[in-house]
Copies of this chain bind each other. A is one copy, B any other.
Amino acid sequence: MTTTSSAPRRASAGPADLPLPLGFTCSGVAAGIKKSGAPDLGLIVCAKGAVAAAMFTRNLVAAAPIQVSRTNLARSRGHCTALLVNSGCANAATGPRGMAACHETIDAVARLLDCAPDAVLVNSTGVIGVLLPSERIVSALPELHAGLTADSCAPFATAIMTTDTRAKACTRTVGNVRVTGVAKGAGMIHPDMATMIVAITTDAAVDAPTLDRILRRSVDRSFHRISVDGDTSTNDSVFALASGQAGACDEALLQAAFDEVCTDLALKVVQDGEGFERGIKVTVNGAATPAAALQVARTVAMSLLVRTAVTGGDPNWGRILAAAGRAGVPFDVEDLRVGANGVPLFEHGAPADSTAADRRTAFTADVVHITIDLGQGACSDVFHSCGLTKRYVEINADYTT
């Protein structure tokens, strides 16, 4: 049998071939939403029902699936049977027709799995302002359902990719309990893409408020500490589903596993950012408050001039000072210490006594680790970003042309 462009095709295993926690199955197919014919529809199912939590974009222009998932999660009081995600279309800024298309796909999943529509969560990622082709999704559901497997998260991780160059997944075990996460995208780095979607599954037995609490802490420590371009999207979301089938787990241990999975995925997202050439890690120590540490770290990590200097391997530390100085956090320049990969750059109010060769080496590392000590207190934070490259501009300027 020959496949046509409209026929669904099975997603390949891809590099994210990691086990799912007990109670979960997943699948991915090409439903014909992407013109390329690549996999574009993914499903995670917990047939016996999972405890669920989620965090959604704070963007006021929230896509239809975000609005619907928010409502469903509230109505179900934190329970979920299935998570359906398509790539190739964001279904954002599409008005009442977009909302109706979203409900059509949810109703079809609910019929297929014999669950309440409220127990289905959804998201979409792709071009903003284009209506969801719900009929293609509904047509592909039987094959998607038939392909459900408990062996690997790869089919789902592959199906939700947009311009990602590789599927992203991570798994950790703590005692009997497993936590597996998959992710796509990097902020709104991807051209029209509306964008970061993360699904974390676990077989730990937790109630909805605990899962929500663990998720919020982990996301704050990971996905809220990365940036590629500062643009949050209309579709950003992180879902957590817990099947309970491996039994109870100490909250602190489960938190640690969630933290590890989320941090690993967050770094994978940055490292797969469009045009990625060199990473940036900014550690701020000696801040008076946690908020001050985060503010300085984020401002330096997101500065276009710091980011272009890193791309050029240029130890232009004056730009780090200038970015720190405009972060809105009071500090005394005399107490400020700045370094990169162990090489001192600025201290005691003047340029530090390092060699030009050492400074150059620090700025041509795979990851430029900028350290800033504000000399004010005991608070610290870390923020990750990457060099701004010509390739980034090229991809984002020339996307539809």
Q: Does A308 contact B (CB under 8 A)?
A: yes
- How far, in whole Å, are A349 and B95 apart by their CA atoms in the complex? 5
Selected contact of A351 from candidates B129, B312, B392, CB within 8 Å: B129
Closest beta carbon of chain B to A11's beta carbon, Å: 26
* Chain A 295-336 near chain B by CB (<8 Å), digits 1 or 0: 000000001110011011110111101111110001101001
Chain B residues with CB below 8 A from A234, complex form? 318, 321-322, 325
Provided the pairs A314-B401, A321-B128 are in contact, do residues A61 and B192 lie with their beta carbons within 8 angstroms?
A: no
Contact partner of A60 (CB less than 8 A), chosen from B230, B331, B349, B392, is B331
Minimum Cβ distance to chain B for residue A331 (Å): 6
A350 CA / B309 CA spacing, docked (Å): 40
Q: Taking A318-B93, A322-B231 as contacts, is the C-beta distance between A333 and B61 under 8 angstroms?
A: yes
Docked-complex contact A59 and B396, CB < 8 angstroms: no
> Cβ of A376 < 8 Å from any Cβ of B?
no
* Closest Cβ–Cβ distance, residue A87 to chain B (whole Å): 16
A312 touches B397 (CB 8 A): yes
A selection of 30 A-B contacts at a CB cut-off of 8 Å is: A59-B325, A60-B326, A61-B324, A61-B325, A61-B336, A92-B318, A92-B321, A92-B322, A93-B349, A93-B350, A95-B351, A127-B318, A128-B318, A129-B346, A129-B351, A191-B316, A194-B322, A229-B304, A229-B305, A231-B304, A234-B318, A308-B396, A308-B397, A309-B399, A312-B398, A312-B400, A313-B401, A314-B400, A390-B394, A392-B393
Residues of B within 8 A of A394 (CB): 390
A180 within 8 A of B: no
Residues of B within 8 A of A231 (CB): 303-305, 319, 322-323, 326
Residue among A188, A314, A316, A322 with the highest chain B CB neighbour number at 10 A: A322
Give chain B residues whose Cβ lies under 8 Å from the Cβ of A400.
312, 314, 316
Closest CB in chain B relative to A346 CB, distance in Å: 6
| Residues of B contacting A319 in the complex (Cβ-Cβ under 8 angstroms) | 128, 188, 192, 231
